[in-house]
Amino acid sequence: MDKERFRTLFQDRLIQDVAQQKIDIVLSGQYGKALELLRDAEATGLFPALVGPPGVGKTILCRYFASLRAKEKKGRNFHWLTMDESIKPSHFIGSFDPAITLKHGFTIEAFNPGPLLSAMLEGGTFLANEINRATEYSQNTLLEPLEEASIGIPHLGRIQADEDFFFICAMNPEELSGTHRLSEALKDRIKVWIKLTYPEKATELDIIRINLPEQFMVEESELELIYSVIEETRKNKIDIEVPASIRAGIAIAKLLGRRRYLESKGIVEDEESVYVHLADISKHVLLGSIKPKPGVKVENIIDGIINKTLGG
């Protein structure tokens, strides 16, 4: 891609302002309550954590909350960083551009601010996503910002955060594999713990509906069947370590919706029953959407689930 084309496409697609983004969110059940708690935490200057398994809506809730704040106070953007073992303090704070530094030294012009520093400077929202996957060394970067609302930048000095700076973190529960523990020092600075789990049926169906493109809408009875497949993965705690998330239900519904769309246009024949279609689609989605316990074959689990919910 040539430079000019890259520049134009990039500028067209640059997200300038979280307040301008349209976020389709369902706020019934646990989500409304969680949003209220986030607002309470913000008003009292306490830092919250969202804790829940993959795909229960932690990120979308943070984005929505940040967009509300940004609408109320202009220029307060949303910044986030998703963590794993390779994340270093410079990923939070920022770093010096080697070429510019070589020419002009450790000046402010040579420094590219990271997401945490940006949020602290402009009074925005910083989300530390998957915070318990970061090493303790990296988690320690957050201690000063959370305790003193300040942070030291090597060679440049120490800044005090804007008074509207707000921090949220999100994590999967610690018992799931692949997660470091949260350091005790950091834990002690997070004061509002908000648990999210798989939503109740009515809420989850609303979430699937809101995420379905209009032309791929499915019937209510079909939504019920999709939910029964997803719910079944959450019941089988003996064989399944991580069950299907909300994302899996949305994916199944989209694939079925597209099938229905093609049938309605006469592009494909409508010969088989919904059970046969749904069994086929569910297999393709569930294969990568559930994590079996060690020694259990995922194909066997899926066959069992489909037999039970869609009658084989």
Ligand X SMILES: Nc1ncnc2c1ncn2[C@@H]1O[C@H](COP(=O)(O)OP(=O)(O)OP(=O)(O)O)[C@@H](O)[C@H]1O
What is the contact surface with Mg ion in residues (CB under 5 A)? 59
| Touching ligand X, residues 56-75 (CB under 6 A) | 56-60
Nearer to ligand X, 25 or 121 (CB): 25
Q: How far is the CB of 130 from Mg ion (least distance, A)?
A: 7
Amino acid at 73: K
- The residue length of the chain stands at 312
Q: How far is the CB of 139 from ligand X (least distance, A)?
A: 18
Which segment (23-31, 150-158, 221-229, 304-312) binds ligand X by CB under 6 A?
Answer: 23-31
Q: For residues 81 and 117, is the Cβ–Cβ distance under 8 A?
A: no
Q: For residues 282 and 289, is the Cβ–Cβ distance under 8 A?
A: no
* DSSP-derived secondary structure letter, 200: P
The residue at minimum Cβ distance from ligand X is: 57
| Helices 274-286 + 298-310 axis angle, to 10 | 150
Which of these, 278, 296, 180, 172, lies nearest to 226 by C-alpha position? Answer: 278
Which of these, 155, 88, 169, lies nearest to 126 by C-alpha position? Answer: 169
Q: How far is the CB of 82 from Mg ion (least distance, A)?
A: 7
Q: How far is the CB of 58 from Mg ion (least distance, A)?
A: 5
Q: For residues 203 and 26, is the Cβ–Cβ distance under 8 A?
A: yes
| Touching ligand X, residues 163-182 (CB under 6 A) | 172
Q: How far apart are CA 142 and CA 150, in angstroms?
A: 10
Binding mask 196-235 for ligand X (x = CB under 6 A): -----------x--xx------------------------
The entry of Mg ion, ligand X, none near residue 85 (CB within 5 to 8 angstroms by kind) is none
By CB under 6 A, residue 108 contacts ligand X: no
Q: How far is the CB of 8 from ligand X (least distance, A)?
A: 29
Strands (E), 89-201: 94-96, 111-113, 125-129, 150-153, 157-160, 166-171, 192-195
| Touching ligand X, residues 233-272 (CB under 6 A) | 246-247, 250
Q: Taking the CB of residue 210, how many other CB atoms lie within 10 A of it?
A: 11
Q: Which of 17, 21, 25, 90 binds ligand X (CB under 6 A)?
A: 25
Number of residues that bind ligand X (CB under 6 A): 19
Q: What is the CA radius of gyration of the chain?
A: 23
Task: Look at the block and give the residue holding tokens 């019941």.
Answer: 235
The entry of ligand X, Mg ion, none near residue 60 (CB within 5 to 8 angstroms by kind) is ligand X
The entry of Mg ion, ligand X, none near residue 26 (CB within 5 to 8 angstroms by kind) is ligand X
By CB under 6 A, residue 308 contacts ligand X: no
By CB under 6 A, residue 26 contacts ligand X: yes
Q: For residues 90 and 114, is the Cβ–Cβ distance under 8 A?
A: yes
Q: Which residues contact ligand X (rule: CB under 6 A)?
A: 24-26, 31, 52, 54-60, 172, 207, 210-211, 246-247, 250
